[in-house]
Amino acid sequence: MIRCNRHPALPLSLLSASLVLLLGACAPKSESSPVAEPAAPAETAATPAVEPATTVDAGETPRTCNADAVQALVGQEATEAVVAQATADSGSASVRVLKPGQAATMDFRQDRLNILTDDAGVIEQLNCG
């Protein structure tokens, strides 16, 4: 009779060691690891995407946006002067200029003017929100 000398503990120990190594790979990094610097933005726009809203004093009525008043600006380049004019003419408290594919929050703000441009910075659409 041929006897096979099996060691049942060997596969179990290999399985245990493999499990420990796999779980170790999932562990969070230690606190002593260096913190990576955030990546610099690819390009800096002439106008910030979001400008802070102005505060409303007690007794003052909140500002609301009127995009109909600035539709004549469609087709113009979104320079700082044009953006300032659009903000004033629309009565909005804040403005953001968005290029195609640029990330933006989806919150609706009745006092904010959105200026949507093409890649060259030419205004394609103006709306409130």
Contact 123, 82 (CB under 8 A): yes
Q: Mean pLDDT, the chain, as a whole number?
A: 78
Q: Where are the beta strands (DSSP E) in 21-122?
A: 94-98, 112-117
Residue pair 100/78 in contact by the 8 Å Cβ criterion: no
Residue 92 structure tokens: 């909005």
What are the residue ranges of helices labelled H in the chain?
9-25, 80-90
Question: What are the structural domains, with CATH classification, of the chain?
Answer: 67-128 (3.30.10.10)
Q: What is the pLDDT of residue 16?
A: 74
Taking 50 as the pLDDT cut, the residues of the chain under it are 40, 42-48, 50-54, 56
